[in-house]
Amino acid sequence: MALRAKVLYDFHSENPGEISIAENEVVTLFSEEELEGWLEGENSRGEAGLFPASYVEIIRDHITSNNNGLSLPQAKVQTSYTPSQSQRGFGADSSSFHTSQGSDDDWDDEWDDNSPVANAPQGLGSSPPLHPIATSLPGRGSTPQHQQQAKSSATVGRNLNRFSTFVKSGGEAFLLGEASAFVKDGDRICVVMGKHGPEWQEDPYPFTCTIDDPTKQTKFKGMKSYMSYGLTPTHTNVQVNRRYKHFDWLYARLVERFPVISVPHLPEKQATGRFEEDFLSKRRKGLIWWMNHMTSHPVLAHCDVFQHFLTCGADEKAWKQGKRKAERDELVGANFFLTISPPSVPLDLQEVENKIEGFKAFTKKMDENIVVVNTSINEFARKQMSGFKKEYQKVGQSFKYLAQAFELDQQVYSVGLNKAISYTGEAYEAIGEYFAEQPRQDLDPISDLLDLYKGHLSNFPDIIHVQKGALTKVKDCPKQEGELHDRCNIISFATLAEIQHFHRTRVRDFRSQMQHHLRQQISFFQKITAKLEDTLQRYDDDQ
Amino acid sequence: MALRAKVLYDFHSENPGEISIAENEVVTLFSEEELEGWLEGENSRGEAGLFPASYVEIIRDHITSNNNGLSLPQAKVQTSYTPSQSQRGFGADSSSFHTSQGSDDDWDDEWDDNSPVANAPQGLGSSPPLHPIATSLPGRGSTPQHQQQAKSSATVGRNLNRFSTFVKSGGEAFLLGEASAFVKDGDRICVVMGKHGPEWQEDPYPFTCTIDDPTKQTKFKGMKSYMSYGLTPTHTNVQVNRRYKHFDWLYARLVERFPVISVPHLPEKQATGRFEEDFLSKRRKGLIWWMNHMTSHPVLAHCDVFQHFLTCGADEKAWKQGKRKAERDELVGANFFLTISPPSVPLDLQEVENKIEGFKAFTKKMDENIVVVNTSINEFARKQMSGFKKEYQKVGQSFKYLAQAFELDQQVYSVGLNKAISYTGEAYEAIGEYFAEQPRQDLDPISDLLDLYKGHLSNFPDIIHVQKGALTKVKDCPKQEGELHDRCNIISFATLAEIQHFHRTRVRDFRSQMQHHLRQQISFFQKITAKLEDTLQRYDDDQ
């Protein structure tokens, strides 16, 4: 029986030798061995060629299926798990890794120019993983059969793709028992069984953190200037000053440290909004959202590097010390999983798989639909600021014209009416302004929220890939070591806890933002009503 | 010194021999004698030719001016006063005159087809008077010098232009003492001196009249059908049934009967509105406005023909009797002025002239500006029914998409939010509908009001011309008969009373309509607010 694979994402061939494949299409594989992230096969249109291995999922017959009455031993070749180049943030973390090794001198650069973190994370949605770069395309017809056999002799094979998130995140190394580090009690992260499944242990010391308007700071006797944000966490109530690049550095640390936690994306480095609103104000709002997500995450909120960031004062030496410590943190990647204390309850693998699949479908749909929402509300905002305003103002202006005509009749019984109509004209002009100002109050915040969630949604494919990688590896060797199972469960518990946290945060954020929006809309329409009521009274003056 | 004239209205040449002239331009006249409504002269661009005499005003040096030390006797040639062909309603009344002479059998025609009154009055605004029709254009170079001399020998000359409103209305005949008819006490119309100047004596028996939705009636065993309106005047409280053609007939009678009263125009015969709203409903609304103006006019409300129209029941014979009586009414045109009892106070001619001039400027400005208002509110209505509705509904739809995505997560703490967001989507769709429905409530009535006033404003140029014709004739012979002055005063009193009535009605109508508009807008925004408040509560359900 020919080896087949189901296509997970659309891939459009860009180079000779590649073939295009479409989501849900079933392709025939010439070999299940991938080379540098590519597989060779034939698509449903009969075209033969290469496509990214990460875009397909090999279809396997289960060992239990009664195929022609024969019970075949399950193939030991592992399915590939998104061998993308750093899926999370699309290259952001890999470039950030470099930052982390940069000398402290780098910190004195202009606040947002020449930053070594050139590719700040952007909310790109749950797009398919990047396919292997064309330059690494293997020659057609190459038959790396030996390589595979050499590997498949191992009971629990390593993933061939060294760029796989599963591998990069350290998930594979941990699963294979290769992780090793000393975990202090303070570093322990507990997953507990809550009412709705596994969840991060509730934060016993919750806190929040305010972010002030940024202030312009200078150094080197005014030669260099940068913007500084005053942060005041509620648990210390001491303000510290941070620049955007500090946030950026912190973000890189967090992404490296927590493979299955969705670290909120920082606001975009350059924001050119439809409102041409002050860039700094927009960035500050983005940072507030970011901070809010950080402080409300039980794991992120209390990790050392974040605490250092929030609490280290102006003492340059202390700062550098904490910075170096964070950059040398051993509990990153594979070792992160060592810090997790799972609940002592069994996990049903099928149930876990279903939950993960359900969540995958959820994120895909949410990602698609928030694009629609964002488009609609941005367009609605634009219309209110242009069309709606213009219409009300045109009507207002024409009422004023009417009043001007009426003013030519200065009889005493006309004067009151003339004034009232003129006032009505002004009221309509004011209402036009109300419309133009309103989107900032109630549509922009939703848009900001959607941006933040777009970031989260683009994190989850990688998180899911790590969990799925672990699960598949365990399923491939069902009777192997109990420790493998335990380690896989740790990954599953962490993933499920993070999904639970995502849902809770999502429900909280969207509820409060929709409420905020509606309250703002209500007071907006009440303001209009009050203006009109005031206007109506002008007509009573000289009845 | 060359005889010059100031151009009152733009005129665009349409035939060989004519020249174009522009408002406020000063043209040189070759002769001040007009022939069939035309004058010959040269415009400021040096073009020589004919233009309508009614479009210009001859510039005269006052007898008191010390021109070269010579005191020239004042020219006795009268300025022309809009020699249009039936200015009022632009031909409506002249065609209506025919109706009035038609046999009673005509009344059985289809209710709005083949009506003899083909050119129902339309609100054309205070456009310049129609210029003399091209077919009556005199041959160029004709020198009708003898004609003029023959006429100018009379001390108080007749206006050469037999199409002048002043002549046609009977104003001239009355002024010259040629009117003669028996006036019963019941026909007497009193002008009194009110707080703000001359006014029609207040109606001692005010009433109103309701108009029901029209019903379809058939005659000749169903062979013919027509729409019938049930009218119920409050002073009889007995319903009578009338067809549109009855209104039309009545309108023609009133226009003929009252030269210096602005008879409200009937709603247009064919109305194709921007809303494609039911034509009959629009006509009924128009008739209600019309009726409202009729019953609130002290003179019109109680005149015989209107009372006959309002009170004559189903008795065919009685109807025809009243109809014939109205058509044979002697107190039309010149004789109308005989019915007027002026207050016994002197009138200052200069003050009257100033008032009339002021009113002329007023109507011009009002006419211009209500066009702007009408354009704005119609566009505003259109936008609310299309763009505004669409934007709210698009946002509503996108919220529903968001809810649909969220519904993929059916955890118990998500369900309430999902429902609330879905409900929000529906609320926005409903608000979109509110916007689309609103213009009928608060913009259409203003538009209807403006239409009615557009009709009034198109009536006033003729009314003013009658008064000015009388005033100029009197000024031309300052020492002539006291009776001429008295008769001129009657015309002035009537005109001023009508102007006063116009202003009062205008102030009343615009005040009440603006109030209505604002109240409707307030309840509209309150409705939206209530909808949003209801929506907001949905978010509390499972906090």
Of B485 and B231, the structure prediction assigns the larger pLDDT to B231
Of A172 and A293, the structure prediction assigns the larger pLDDT to A293
Nearest by CB to A421, from B514, B528, B529: name it.
B514
Is residue B144 one of the residues assigned to a domain? no
Please tell me whether residues A435 and A310 are part of one structural domain.
no
Hey, are the CB atoms on B412 and A196 less than 8 Å from each other?
yes
Please tell me whether residues A323 and A357 are part of one structural domain.
no
Exposed, middle or buried, B358 (CB in 10 Å: 0-12/13-18/19+)?
A: middle
* pLDDT band at residue B518 under the 50/70/90 scheme: very high
Please tell me whether residues A483 and A356 are part of one structural domain.
yes
Is residue A126 one of the residues assigned to a domain? no
Restricting to A residues 363-402, those with a Cβ less than 8 Å away from any Cβ of B are: 365-366, 368-370, 372-373, 375-377, 379-380, 383-384, 387-388, 391-392, 394-395, 397-399, 401-402
The 3-state DSSP class for residue A340 equals: strand
Condensed to tens digits (0 to 9), the pLDDT of residues A112-133 reads 333 333 333 333 333 444 444 3
Is residue B78 one of the residues assigned to a domain? no
Condensed to tens digits (0 to 9), the pLDDT of residues A24-52 reads 899 988 887 777 677 888 888 888 888 88
Tell me, what CATH number does B531's domain have? 1.20.1270.60
Residue of A nearest to B500 (CA): A411
The predicted structure's pLDDT at residue A422: 95
Distance CA A32, CA B145 (A): 114
Is residue B131 one of the residues assigned to a domain? no
* pLDDT band at residue B160 under the 50/70/90 scheme: low
- CB < 8 Å to A525, chain B: 525-526, 528-529, 532
At which residue do the structure tokens 């029209």 appear?
B214
Least confident of A1-15, A55-69, A454-468, B255-269: A55-69
| Pairing, β B224-233 against β B240-242 | antiparallel
How confident is the prediction for chain B on average, in pLDDT?
78
Q: Is the distance from CB of B50 to CB of B17 less than 8 angstroms?
A: yes
Please tell me whether residues B425 and B292 are part of one structural domain.
no
> Residue A4 pLDDT more than 60?
yes
H or E stretch covering A211: strand A209-211
Tell me, what CATH number does A38's domain have? 2.30.30.40
| Pairing, β A240-242 against β A224-233 | antiparallel
Q: Once rounded to an integer, what is the mean pLDDT over residues A383-390?
A: 93
- CA A439 to chain B, closest CA, distance in angstroms equals 13
Restricting to A residues 350-369, those with a Cβ less than 8 Å away from any Cβ of B are: 358-359, 361-362, 365-366, 368-369
Is residue A132 one of the residues assigned to a domain? no
Condensed to tens digits (0 to 9), the pLDDT of residues A66-107 reads 334 333 333 333 333 333 333 333 333 333 333 333 333 344
Q: Is the distance from CB of A390 to CB of A531 less than 8 angstroms?
A: no
Least confident of A329-333, A403-407, B34-38, B287-291: B34-38
- CA B521 to chain A, closest CA, distance in angstroms equals 8
Of B458 and A222, the structure prediction assigns the larger pLDDT to B458
What are the structure tokens assigned to A233, written together? 């966490």
> Residue A486 pLDDT more than 50?
yes
- Provide the residue range defining the domain that includes B245: 198-329
Condensed to tens digits (0 to 9), the pLDDT of residues A390-413 reads 999 999 999 999 999 999 987 888
Sequence-separated (6 or more) residues with CB below 8 Å from residue A152:
A76, A77
Any known ligand binding at A245? yes
The predicted structure's pLDDT at residue B399: 96
Is residue B31 one of the residues assigned to a domain? yes
> Residue B439 pLDDT more than 50?
yes
Please tell me whether residues B366 and B313 are part of one structural domain.
no
Select from A355, A376, A435 the residue whose CB has the most chain B CBs within 10 Å, as the one to mutate to test that interface: A376
The predicted structure's pLDDT at residue A36: 66
Q: Is the distance from CB of B428 to CB of B399 less than 8 angstroms?
A: yes
Condensed to tens digits (0 to 9), the pLDDT of residues B328-337 reads 888 888 889 9
> Residue B294 pLDDT more than 90?
yes
Please tell me whether residues B431 and B523 are part of one structural domain.
yes
* pLDDT band at residue B170 under the 50/70/90 scheme: confident
> Residue B296 pLDDT more than 50?
yes
Distance CA B161, CA B132 (A): 10
Q: Provide the angle, in degrees to the nearest 10, between the axes of the packed helices B316-327 and B304-311.
A: 170
Is residue B530 less than 8 Å (CB to CB) from chain A?
no
Question: Quick count: other Cβ atoms within 10 Å of Cβ B138?
Answer: 16
Is residue A532 less than 8 Å (CB to CB) from chain B?
yes
Restricting to B residues 143-202, those with a Cβ less than 8 Å away from any Cβ of A are: 196
Nearest by CB to B511, from A387, A412, A539: name it.
A539
Is residue B378 one of the residues assigned to a domain? yes
* pLDDT band at residue B50 under the 50/70/90 scheme: confident
Condensed to tens digits (0 to 9), the pLDDT of residues A514-542 reads 999 999 999 999 999 999 999 999 998 55
Please tell me whether residues A482 and A435 are part of one structural domain.
yes
- CB < 8 Å to A408, chain B: 358, 361-362, 365-366
Nearest by CB to A539, from B362, B368, B515: name it.
B515
Cα B452 to the center of its chain, rounded Å:
6
Any known ligand binding at A151? no
* ipTM of this complex prediction, to 2 decimal places: 0.72
Please tell me whether residues A355 and A312 are part of one structural domain.
no
Least confident of A355-364, A487-496, B123-132: B123-132
- CA B454 to chain A, closest CA, distance in angstroms equals 13
Residue of B nearest to A535 (CA): B518
Please tell me whether residues A287 and A246 are part of one structural domain.
yes
Least confident of A164-178, A368-382, A482-496, B342-356: A164-178
Q: Once rounded to an integer, what is the mean pLDDT over residues A475-480?
A: 66
Least confident of A325-339, B118-132, B250-264, B398-412: B118-132
What are the structure tokens assigned to B517, written together? 């508009």
- CB < 8 Å to A422, chain B: none
> Residue B146 pLDDT more than 50?
no
Hey, are the CB atoms on B377 and A398 less than 8 Å from each other?
yes
Is residue B90 one of the residues assigned to a domain? no
Which of the listed residues A301, A329, A357 is the one where a domain comes to its end?
A329
Condensed to tens digits (0 to 9), the pLDDT of residues B219-233 reads 767 777 778 899 999
Is residue A424 less than 8 Å (CB to CB) from chain B?
yes
Please tell me whether residues A202 and A296 are part of one structural domain.
yes
How confident is the prediction for chain A on average, in pLDDT?
78
Please tell me whether residues A375 and A481 are part of one structural domain.
yes
Nearest by CB to A362, from B409, B413, B515: name it.
B409
The pLDDT > 90 percentage for chain B reads: 44
Residue of B nearest to A523 (CA): B529
Q: Once rounded to an integer, what is the mean pLDDT over residues A471-477?
A: 79
Please tell me whether residues A227 and A321 are part of one structural domain.
yes
Tell me, what CATH number does B208's domain have? 3.30.1520.10
Let me know how long chain A is. Answer: 543
Distance CA B217, CA A109 (A): 89
Of B55 and A288, the structure prediction assigns the larger pLDDT to A288
Binding site per annotation, positions of B: 243, 245, 283
**Domains identified in chain A, total number:** 3
The predicted structure's pLDDT at residue A184: 84
Is residue B447 less than 8 Å (CB to CB) from chain A?
no
Sequence-separated (6 or more) residues with CB below 8 Å from residue B348:
none
